[in-house]
Amino acid sequence: MLKKELGMFTFLDLLEHYPNRHIDKTKVNKIREINPQTEFIQVVGTLLHYEIVGAGRGKRLVAQLKDSTGILELAWFQGISWVVKNLHVGSDYLVFGKTGFFNGKPQIVHPEIEVYIPAKADGKDFLEPVYPTTEKLKARGFNGRQMGKLTYTLFSQLQPKDIIENIPQGILERLQLMGRYEAYRNIHFPASPVLYEKAMHRLKFDELFIAQVRLNLVRLERHRVSRGAVFEKVGDYFNTLYSKYLPFELTGAQKRVLKEIRADTGRGHQMNRLLQGDVGSGKTIVALLSMLLAADNGYQSCFMAPTEILAQQHFNSLGRLLKEMPVEIAILTGSTKAKERRRVLQGLLDDTIHFVVGTHAVIEDVVQFKNLGLVIVDEQHRFGVAQRAKLWGKATIPPHVLVMTATPIPRTLAMTAYGDLDYSVMDELPPGRQPITTVHRYETARANVMDFVRTEIDKGRQVYFIYPLIEESEKMSYEDLMQGYEQVKSFFPEPKFRISMVHGRQPGEQKETNMQRFVSGDTQIMVSTTVIEVGVDVPNASVMVIESAEKFGLSQLHQLRGRVGRGIEKSFCILLTGTKASKEARERIKVMCATNDGFRIAEKDLEIRGPGDIEGTRQSGALNFKIASIVNDKVLLECAREEAEKLVSGDAELSMTKNLPLKTFLQSQKGKNGWSKIS
Ligand code: ADP
Ligand code: MG
């Protein structure tokens, strides 16, 4: 039962089944204190009476408990026969549970109940652990307190030597961490609140540290054993573009990242690098220069984009930069015509095409390369691990992989979920960018918003109107979009104003035409869904109006807003909402109005939503900590990361005497975590 319900197999599992609270047995409430605001309560009383009433699904056990101030009703709907066996009229019981009112009388449904034994006078055992359990177990009478008894029994037989210390002594001393045995003991049966806190601290560190050691080992192993194409020289392709066709000076951050990429690709090991750069930080040019580096060394490159629109746009802008150079670049998407498709496939096979830009279509099995050396994955969070792995299998020597994302992954998250990738940050925007001003307006102020939009258009600027479309197949929001389009049209009538509309249901070609008209400035207004969320680059666009902004997540809002503020003009983002928005939605909007800093926004997002939700990390299983939290324990995580890095880089085999217990521990834990699966 324990196995199935809680996944417990060993005594260590039991030790790591941490209590979610402790009961101070000396703290007992009076029944009279219960009011509609009361949540949980602990009372001691005498059992007056009990009976089973009703039948079938309505069958329940009802009991009355009396203390000096009143009567409390207790009710059970499940496990009745078991509970009844343990009830004795006239005995005293300690009862704990969530209170409610039934027919105006206070009641606890499925309380935790046990025979009352006064707390010992010596002060020990005052704090009794209560454990998370499941409804099923509870129904069988195995509640959180019974679990405590089991743990107590375990501890009565456990010696300090049974629990090997997994953290090296030096670290324990330096960070003044409690020993492992003592920590387990105090988290379950704290001798004092201070020791409880120390135990908590140690076990959180433990969890984070072990995870970080694992990640570092994986990364190091990959550095050591993986083979990779060697890009040993910077040649004509790279140099020509750099000196002749680059329309601007690279930022310091871009240069630094390029250096990191050069170092990575020159060593003969496969590069696995995550490049984070806020929207507009200029990742594309870094990608292009890396691709030219590959070409200089005789390798082909593949650039993968999350949407067709974006693939097309990358193809166009890269093509423009490469116009005067003898580099063949092709595009391959779902809507590439059969004949062109055959040409591209052939070209990749015989190496007459150097670069291919595409969507998912480039990872289909039919796409084979002569000599693939570099894979760029733009906006990685849309691609699953399996899909990326497929790309890596396309060459005999695995190609280097550069994953780019503008979704700013909070540092703590990157340290855990992507901790085995090497990691670069572009924390600098190209010069001359003005911060975007973001405001919140209610729909009732729409007319004013439209007036403002009109003045911007009159100045020659372009404008986005974004509508939420949760699922492209969702009929409701599709109709909202169409209504929105009509509404925008009524404010901005043709022929003075020209409007493009782009959404997921259009055929690829139509999307492309509409997009292209906006890019070229032929239309001043773009009405769209979130299909333009990532990457679209129209520097002349200076206003973004986001309709029903309350329906968007924080990182999505930030991504969208990144479509403006890309030129030298002052840009604006207007978040429109109804008057009724949830507390969380209001908080998101407040954050958006307060900052343009993607990293701060991502941190906030993590705080508001919790880690479980962050896109792309859900399947990794990397965030399932038992006691630590990447939101609340950031400082500790940084510390664990640092210690793990230091340790692994000094002793990659964990063969030094001081690290042997750790090694043994890790080996005993094999298969418990999915770390090796992440890449
Ligand atoms: P992102 O990192 O969001 O993918 P892009 O690569 O699309 O950003 O670059 C955003 C814009 O900034 C593009 O118009 C690009 O040409 C321009 N850009 C990139 N690097 C620089 C630079 N060093 N100086 C000036 N403009 C730059
Ligand atoms: Mg981009």
Q: What is the pLDDT of residues 536-591, one digit of tens each?
A: 778 899 999 999 999 888 888 998 898 998 888 899 999 999 888 888 899 999 99
Q: Which pair of structure tokens corresponds to residue 554?
A: 């924080």
Q: Which pair of structure tokens corresponds to residue 186?
A: 């105090």
Q: Higher pLDDT residue, 143 or 521?
A: 521
Rg (CA), the chain: 31
3-class state of residue 402 by DSSP: strand
Q: Is the dihedral of CA 579, 583, 589, 593 positive or negative?
A: positive
- 285 within ligand 1 shell (Cβ under 6 A): yes
Considering the domain architecture, whether residues 496 and 391 belong to the same structural domain is answered as no
What is the maximum span of the chain, computed from C-alpha positions, in angstroms?
96
Contact yes or no for 126/24 (Cβ under 8 A): yes
Let me know if residue 623 belongs to a domain: no
Distance CA 388, CA 155 (A): 47
- Structure confidence at residue 236 (pLDDT): 96
Over the chain, what is the mean pLDDT?
85
pLDDT of residue 496 exceeding 80: yes
634-650 and 193-225 helices, crossing angle to 10°: 50
pTM comes to 0.70
pLDDT of residue 676 exceeding 50: no
CATH of the domain at 60: 2.40.50.140
Task: Report percent pLDDT > 90 for the chain.
Answer: 45
Distance CA 657, CA 3 (A): 36
Considering the domain architecture, whether residues 582 and 441 belong to the same structural domain is answered as yes
Let me know if residue 496 belongs to a domain: yes
Considering the domain architecture, whether residues 245 and 376 belong to the same structural domain is answered as yes
- 248 within ligand 1 shell (Cβ under 6 A): yes
Question: Mutate which of 242, 245, 246, 248 to test ligand 1's pocket (most atoms within 8 Å of Cβ)?
Answer: 248
Considering the domain architecture, whether residues 385 and 273 belong to the same structural domain is answered as yes
- From 378, 405, 426, the end of a domain falls on 426
Confidence label for 165 from pLDDT (cuts 50, 70 and 90): very high
- Structure confidence at residue 135 (pLDDT): 62
Question: Which residues have C-beta within 8 Å of that of residue 223, sequence separation ≥ 6?
Answer: 269
3-class state of residue 227 by DSSP: coil
Q: What is the pLDDT of residues 353-397, one digit of tens each?
A: 999 999 888 888 889 999 999 999 987 655 555 666 676 677 778
- 286 within ligand 1 shell (Cβ under 6 A): no
DSSP β-ladder status, 499-502 and 462-466? unpaired
Phi, psi torsion values for 69, nearest 5 degrees: -115, -15
CATH of the domain at 284: 3.40.50.300
Q: What is the identity of the amino acid at 630?
A: I
Distance CA 330, CA 314 (A): 11
Considering the domain architecture, whether residues 456 and 546 belong to the same structural domain is answered as yes
Considering the domain architecture, whether residues 112 and 189 belong to the same structural domain is answered as no
Q: Which pair of structure tokens corresponds to residue 386?
A: 């399996």
| Dihedral over alpha carbons 382, 386, 389, 391 (to 10 degrees) | -60
Question: Mutate which of 276, 313, 376, 537 to test ligand 1's pocket (most atoms within 8 Å of Cβ)?
Answer: 537
Confidence label for 615 from pLDDT (cuts 50, 70 and 90): very low
Q: How far is CA 655 from CA 1, 204, 224, 420, in A?
A: 40, 25, 17, 21
Contact yes or no for 497/461 (Cβ under 8 A): no
Q: How far is CA 305 from CA 362, 421, 509, 560, in A?
A: 10, 20, 17, 17
Let me know if residue 344 belongs to a domain: yes
Considering the domain architecture, whether residues 117 and 138 belong to the same structural domain is answered as yes
Question: Which residues have C-beta within 8 Å of that of residue 79, sequence separation ≥ 6?
Answer: 138, 139, 140, 141
Confidence label for 474 from pLDDT (cuts 50, 70 and 90): low
Return the number of other C-beta atoms located less than 10 Å from residue 131's C-beta: 21
Q: What is the pLDDT of residues 390-429, one digit of tens each?
A: 766 777 788 898 989 887 777 777 777 777 778 888 988 8
Atom 20 of ligand 1 has which residue's CA nearest to it? 282
Contact yes or no for 331/348 (Cβ under 8 A): no
Let me know if residue 518 belongs to a domain: yes
Contact yes or no for 353/332 (Cβ under 8 A): no
Considering the domain architecture, whether residues 563 and 446 belong to the same structural domain is answered as yes
Considering the domain architecture, whether residues 145 and 248 belong to the same structural domain is answered as no
Let me know if residue 605 belongs to a domain: no
Let me know if residue 300 belongs to a domain: yes
Q: What is the pLDDT of residues 338-349, one digit of tens each?
A: 999 999 999 999
Distance CA 531, CA 515 (A): 11
- From 595, 625, 652, the end of a domain falls on 595
Phi-psi map region of 399: left, alpha, beta (phi>0 left; psi -120 to 50 alpha)? beta
**E strand residue ranges, 144-281:** 272-277
Find the length of the chain. Answer: 679
Question: Mutate which of 281, 309, 380 to test ligand 1's pocket (most atoms within 8 Å of Cβ)?
Answer: 281
Taking the CA of residue 284 as reference, the ligand 1 atom at the shortest distance is 6
Domains held by the chain: number: 4
Considering the domain architecture, whether residues 389 and 487 belong to the same structural domain is answered as no
User: How far is C-alpha 164 from the chain's CA centre?
Assistant: 33
Q: Could you give the angle at the alpha carbon of 330 between the alpha carbons of 327 and 332, nearest 5°?
A: 160
* Domain boundaries, position 663: 169-212+633-671
Tell me the mean pLDDT in the region 167-180: 95
Question: CB-hemisphere CA count at 13 Å for 503?
Answer: 24
- Structure confidence at residue 620 (pLDDT): 45
Q: What is the pLDDT of residues 87-141, one digit of tens each?
A: 999 999 988 888 888 888 899 998 888 888 776 544 455 577 877 776 666 666 6
Let me know if residue 624 belongs to a domain: no
**How remote is the CA of residue 248 from the centroid of ligand 1, in Å?**
9
- From 543, 575, 595, the end of a domain falls on 595
Considering the domain architecture, whether residues 422 and 295 belong to the same structural domain is answered as yes
Considering the domain architecture, whether residues 485 and 563 belong to the same structural domain is answered as yes
Contact yes or no for 377/350 (Cβ under 8 A): no
Q: Could you give the angle at the alpha carbon of 85 between the alpha carbons of 81 and 105, nearest 5°?
A: 75
Let me know if residue 519 belongs to a domain: yes
Q: Which pair of structure tokens corresponds to residue 520?
A: 């070229």
